[in-house]
Each structure stands twice: as structure tokens, then as C-alpha cells.
Amino acid sequence: MLMNSYVFRAMHGHAARGAMLAWLCTLAPQCCLAADITHVTLVQMHPAIGVGEEIFMYAVPKALGYFAQEKLDVAIEGVSGGGPAAQALQSGQAECAITMPESILQLRERGGDPIAIYTLKQNTGSIMLLAADSPIHAFGELKGKTIGAASFGAGGGLAVKDHLAQIGITPDQYSAVSTGVNAASFTALQSHQLDALVVWDGMRGAAENTGMALRTLEIPDQDKIAAMTLATTQRFIHDHKDQVSGMCRAVAKGLHFALANPNAAIRLFWQEFPTAKPSGVDQAVALRNQRHIMDRWFESSEQGVAPGHETGAMRPDSWELMREVYVKTGALKGTIPATQGYTSDFISSCNAYDHAAIEAQAAAMPQ
């Protein structure tokens, strides 16, 4: 069936497009529904899918329909680091990103408009691992030692470098080795090829799952500076404010569910990403190990947040301290205030959902 060509030629501009859309929808009503869906690309700051924020930020909201309830169609992609994740936002390759506050401020200093809307971690989760029999018990004892980290240009590695400088240990007085993220770095620590290894919470949980005898050394100020955030751009907020609220709310619901029933959240994660389920391992063992990694993640991410209460709140003092630290290291110029990097405008709407319903849903699924 074709629309009368004379009628179509007689329509102009918006009127023509509106009439055409209305006519098409009489033939296929689903097209009108599709027009209401907003497509969102979420970029995470590591390339591989694993046990971490992707469980509650993507797998759970997708599986349980939290995105669909907000009329969102969300895809997840990965890049290597907070900087590239923030850059994906700025370039328009993504509408939302998991990134770090310093990466947001770096782009803001260059005239960009990324902005944090929801705190994913109240603590960076970075920590230093030592072999159980290591003679090291304080940072001052790292002089002349070999220290491994995924990177010394950001995150925990940069924090260690900065603190060593504060106590008078300069980079030429220890060996800094970029180890990447792999099992070989744990082996190097255990065999004393590395004297210390800087990791984050999930990586620590994975190391503990191997049965290695380890000790930890706290990295100063890592529980005080602003950490991982959910961010978007001011452009996207201007055009899609309701969708930003919806995305944030779906994430908050996913987090609430995962905290209430972590095992069910991991099973949903396996359902969405089958290759993330360890092969050749008893399911109960795989579940226990991945639950341990997830528990470590939540220890730092929800530090100081009471169960069932408002999540994602911004801490102005932690953003200001983060800015001071990175200005001192040279990673930031310090030309703009920390307050330009975040907004608290969405926290209320992020948490505006039926908490009891989420807890009941979590309780109804196998523990």
C-alpha cells in the first residue's frame, strides 16, 4: 500500500513529517513505541568484562528491565582507562561513561563539558599488597624496593608515587614497574620479584581467591579523595534530562539489588555475559570466588553508606582534595574549581524508586 503521492506533495515541513509518521504508525504501531526509546552507549574504563561495576550498572538493570522501564536501550563498551572513557563522552561516541574525577577535570580545563552525576565509589579501592613474609611494614621502607602497579600515571600508582615524594623518597630511589593487570604480577609478588604491588579492590579479591598469603598496606588519602563516577555531558543533559535521570535511577536500582542479593546479581551477570563464567570450575566455587571479588568492590564503593539509603552522593571535600592532589602532581593545571566537574542535581531522582520493591525482588530470587 502506498500513500497517495498528491497528498504527500501537498504537505510541507514538520506537518508532512508528522502526518507521515502518524500514517505509518497506523500500519505498524510498534514504530511509535520505538520512537520513544533513547539509545545510550555506556563506556567503562577497562576493555574486558569482569566482576565489577558492570554487574550492577549493566547486567542487572538490563536483565530485570530497569533500563526498559526508563525507555532506554543501553549498550556497554570498554576502553583502557578513565581518560579515554571521558574522551569518548566529549567526542560524542558515548552518552554516559564510568570514569574518574581527575579525567573529567582534565577535559573541563580544556573547555570540555563532561560532568559527574553519581558517585560509584566512595573510596578509590586502591591498596598495596605485600607477600605475607615481607619485611616491609611502612612506606618509608620502600626505599630501594621494586614496586609494581598497573600504571604510575593515574590511580593508586600515582598516589603511591606522590606519597613517597612527600616523605622524601624520590623516583630514582625505587623501581617502578608497570605490570599491567594479570596473574603474573601476583606470581612476581609471591616470588619477591616485586616487593610491593599496587592493586584495586577487585584485583585484591582475585589475588585472595588464589590462596596466596598476603598482607596489605594502606595508601594514604585513598579513602578521602573523589573516586569512580557515572558521568555524562552537559550537552546530553540539556537535550535529555529525563533520560539522564532514568539512566542514573536504573543504575541505583541495580546497585540496590546487587547489595541485597549478590549471588543472584552474579548469576544475572553470567546470563548476560556467558564467557565471564569461569569454565572448568564447579559452579559453587565459581560463585563463591566471584562473590568475594564483588564483596571487596562493595567494601570501598559503599564505604560510609548505610544499606538501603541514598547512594551516589557527591562529597565536595573529596573532590577538592582530589583536585589539590592532582594539581600538585601536575596532572591538573588547577585553572578551574572542582565544583565544575560534578553536579548533585540528579541524586534525588536517581534514588526516587520503591526501595522495598527492589528488596522484595532480590529476596524472591535464589540466594
Q: Are residues 275 and 287 in the same domain?
A: yes
When pLDDT is averaged across residues 106-132 and rounded to a whole number, the result is 93
Q: Are residues 26 and 70 in the same domain?
A: no
Q: Are residues 46 and 176 in the same domain?
A: no
Q: Are residues 150 and 299 in the same domain?
A: no
When pLDDT is averaged across residues 87-101 and rounded to a whole number, the result is 96
Whose CA is closest to 253, among 66, 118, 124?
66
CA atoms within 13 A on the CB side of 260: 21
Q: State yes or no: pLDDT of 67 exceeds 70.
A: yes
Q: Are residues 190 and 274 in the same domain?
A: no
Whose CA is closest to 305, among 353, 362, 347?
347
Kindly state the percentage of the chain with pLDDT values over 70: 89
Q: Are residues 239 and 345 in the same domain?
A: yes
How far is Cα of residue 330 from the mean position of the Cα atoms in its chain? 24
Q: Are residues 107 and 139 in the same domain?
A: no
CATH number of the CATH domain containing 57: 3.40.190.10
Q: Are residues 349 and 253 in the same domain?
A: yes
pLDDT computed for residue 32 by the predictor: 44
> Cell 588464589 identifies what position?
210
pLDDT computed for residue 307 by the predictor: 63
pLDDT computed for residue 341 by the predictor: 98
Q: Are residues 28 and 81 in the same domain?
A: no
The structure's pTM equals 0.83
Q: Are residues 268 and 319 in the same domain?
A: yes
Whose CA is closest to 101, among 319, 311, 314, 303?
319
Give the list of residues 6+ apart from residue 47 with CB closer than 8 angstroms, or none. 78, 79, 80
Q: Are residues 246 and 106 in the same domain?
A: yes
Of residues 319 and 150, the one with the higher pLDDT is 319
What's the rounded Cα separation, in Å, for the pair 326 and 334?
Answer: 8
pLDDT computed for residue 319 by the predictor: 97
Q: State yes or no: pLDDT of 10 exceeds 60.
A: no
Number of domain units in the chain: 3
When pLDDT is averaged across residues 72-99 and rounded to a whole number, the result is 94
Q: Are residues 276 and 239 in the same domain?
A: yes
pLDDT computed for residue 179 by the predictor: 83
pLDDT computed for residue 303 by the predictor: 72
Of residues 172 and 11, the one with the higher pLDDT is 172
Range of the domain at 293: 39-123+226-364
Distances (CA, A) of 223 to 59, 302, 313, 362: 27, 11, 15, 29
When pLDDT is averaged across residues 264-290 and rounded to a whole number, the result is 94
How far is Cα of residue 79 from the mean position of the Cα atoms in its chain? 12
Q: State which of 26-35, 157-166, 309-318 shows the largest mean pLDDT.
A: 309-318
